[in-house]
């Protein structure tokens, strides 16, 4: 369970890496490190991050990340591009792509209901992450797209959000509000008006008007959305996509990781690798090998005292990680370090460790 072969082999035949896991496990850093290391090995990589901490953005190249891919290095064989996921502007772009005319797009983009929807609809972050992934996967500039996913407890949103959104846009009840005209439907007009009046009394008239305006403007665009949702699902399930579970050796992040991989599996998407970040480096096995030959001097016992607790912890961590590691083909442990990721070189070293499967690595800035 320690070490392992690393991701280098698994990456060779992939063009998408999707990092999934609980919040706070180092998903963004892991995705960025893999992207940088792959670029250093000759790939043309685009890393999509959700909300990089300032330090990580610095380590990626010091440039401000925007909602379009930007070249951030390196100057060697491959290329590294990076962008930050911006759900609002992504949603705007999707609307513009699918709209029948620029006027239809403009009308939707200006609608207050749409503006709230595009930032606050549950799952909208996840949907836009997959949407961005789809767009980049057909972009010739890149041969590897690494996507960091939003920290979501609603793990299914990632895969289900496109379907959920299309179902939502296809809402029959709203259709009765929107299209009470013509033939049989005219009969429904009076109850529809009554319903919209009662709704307005509860949530406010302006909100109902905005919503109806939005659905009217949206007419005819559902088809394009449904099609795209299908394409995204197929892309995620393809064997050119590597789903990578990221966790830390804590029960809750492992449980979330398993929940995600299980839910993905139910949808035909296999998670084939796992990275455990911040595991405890435990030299005890190396010591134990020499155990009986060691004469315990005060100097040695001082050292051993400091390492016993660490061994107990590392053992417990291994047990905690086991169910997740058993569920995937490739596993990598990255030991916790005293200093946090500081610069480009440190990020490259981390990426190298993940690709090569070495669990200890030098970072160059202060550790040793």
Partner 1 sequence: MAGKGGVGKTTTAAALARVAVAGGHRVVAVAVGDGPLTDLLEREPTPVESVLAGEELDALILVRIDPEEALAAYLQDNGLSVIGRRMARTGMLELVATATPAIKELLILGRLRQLEQSEHIDLVIVDGPASGHALELVKAPASMASIAKAGRLRSQAEQARNLLCDSARTQVVLVTLPEHTPIQETVEAAFDLEDEVGIALGPIIVNGCASPSPAVEPPTAQLAADVPRAVTDAMDAALEEAHLRHQAERELLAELRSAIGVPRIELPDAPTPSGGVDLVALIGALWGAA
> 36-75: which residues touch partner 1 (CB under 8 A)?
53-55
Kindly tell me which residue out of 262, 283, 323, 364 binds partner 1, with binding defined by CB under 8 A. 283
Q: Pattern 193-222, binding to partner 1, x per CB under 8 A?
A: --x--xx-xxxx-xxx-xx-----------
Q: What is the DSSP letter of 364?
A: S
Under the binding rule (CB under 8 A), the answer on residue 1 touching partner 1 is no
Q: Which one of 282, 327, 332, 351 is in contact with partner 1 (CB under 8 A)?
A: 282
Do residues 257 and 245 touch, judged by C-beta distance below 8 A?
A: yes
Per CB under 8 A, 109 contacts partner 1: no
Nearest approach in angstroms of CB 144 to partner 1 is 26
Longest dimension (CA), the chain: 96
Q: Which residues pair with 18 in a beta bridge?
A: 147, 243
Contact 58, 343 (CB under 8 A): yes
Q: Which is nearer to partner 1, 100 or 283 (CB)?
A: 283
For 306, the token pair is: 């400091």
Q: Which of 3, 9, 24, 100 binds partner 1 (CB under 8 A)?
A: 24
- In the sheet that holds 271-279, the strands lie side by side as 70-73, 79-84, 44-49, 144-148, 16-20, 241-247, 271-279, 330-335
Q: How many residues bind partner 1 (CB under 8 A)?
A: 71
Per-residue binding string, partner 1, 333-352, x by CB under 8 A, is ---xxxxx------------
Q: Which of 12, 64, 140, 173 binds partner 1 (CB under 8 A)?
A: 173
Listed residue (273, 267, 201, 192) closest to 234, CA to CA: 267
* Of 39, 117, 128, 243, the one binding partner 1 by CB under 8 A: 117
Per-residue string for binding with partner 1, 78-107, x by CB under 8 A? ------------------------------
Site string for partner 1, 237-276 (x = CB under 8 A): -----------xxxxxx-----------------------
Rounded distance, CA 21 to CA 258, Å? 9
Whether 51 and 84 have beta carbons less than 8 Å apart is answered as yes
Between residues 25 and 31, which has the closer beta carbon with respect to partner 1?
25
Binders in 317-336 for partner 1, by CB under 8 A:
317, 320, 336
Nearest approach in angstroms of CB 275 to partner 1 is: 15
Which whole-number Å values give the CA distances from 329 to 4, 142, 166, 314, in the listed order? 10, 26, 34, 22
Residue 360 in contact with partner 1, rule: CB under 8 A: yes
Q: Which of 39, 263, 260 is nearest to 142 (CA)?
A: 39
Given a contact cutoff of 8 angstroms between Cβ atoms, the answer to whether 159 and 196 are in contact is no
């Amino acid at each position: 369970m320690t070490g392992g072969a690393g991701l280098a082999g698994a990456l060779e035949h992939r063009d998408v890496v999707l990092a999934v896991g609980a919040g706070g496990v180092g998903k963004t850093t892991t995705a960025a490190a893999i992207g940088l290391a792959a670029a250093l090995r000759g790939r043309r990589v685009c890393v999509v991050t959700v909300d990089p901490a300032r330090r990580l953005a610095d380590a990626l190249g010091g440039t401000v990340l925007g909602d379009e891919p930007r070249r951030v290095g390196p100057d060697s064989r491959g290329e590294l591009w990076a962008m930050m996921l911006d759900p609002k502007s992504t949603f705007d772009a999707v609307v513009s792509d699918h709209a029948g005319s620029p006027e239809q797009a403009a009308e939707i983009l200006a609608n207050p209901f749409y503006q709230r929807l595009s930032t606050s609809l549950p799952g909208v972050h996840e949907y836009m992450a997959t949407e961005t992934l789809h767009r980049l996967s057909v972009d010739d500039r890149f041969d590897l797209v690494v996507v960091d996913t939003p920290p979501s407890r609603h793990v299914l949103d990632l895969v289900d959000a496109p379907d959920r959104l299309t179902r939502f846009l296809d809402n029959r009840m709203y259709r009765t509000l929107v299209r009470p005209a013509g033939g049989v439907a005219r009969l429904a007009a009076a109850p529809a008006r009554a319903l919209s009046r009662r709704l307005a009394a509860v949530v406010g008239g302006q909100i109902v008007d905005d919503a109806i305006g939005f659905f009217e403007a949206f007419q005819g665009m559902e088809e394009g959305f449904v099609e795209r949702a299908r394409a995204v699902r197929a892309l995620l399930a393809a064997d050119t996509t590597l789903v990578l579970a990221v966790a830390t050796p804590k029960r809750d992040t492992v449980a979330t990781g398993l929940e995600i991989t299980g839910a993905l599996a139910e949808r035909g998407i296999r998670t084939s690798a796992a990275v455990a970040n911040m595991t405890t480096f435990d030299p005890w096995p190396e010591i134990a090998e020499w155990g009986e030959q060691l004469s315990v001097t005060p100097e040695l016992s001082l050292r051993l005292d400091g390492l016993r607790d660490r061994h107990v912890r590392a053992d417990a961590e291994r047990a905690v990680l086991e169910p997740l590691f058993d569920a995937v083909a490739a596993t990598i442990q990255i030991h916790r370090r005293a200093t946090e990721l500081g610069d480009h070189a440190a990020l490259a070293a981390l990426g190298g460790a993940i690709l090569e499967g070495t669990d200890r690595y030098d970072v160059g800035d202060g550790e040793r």
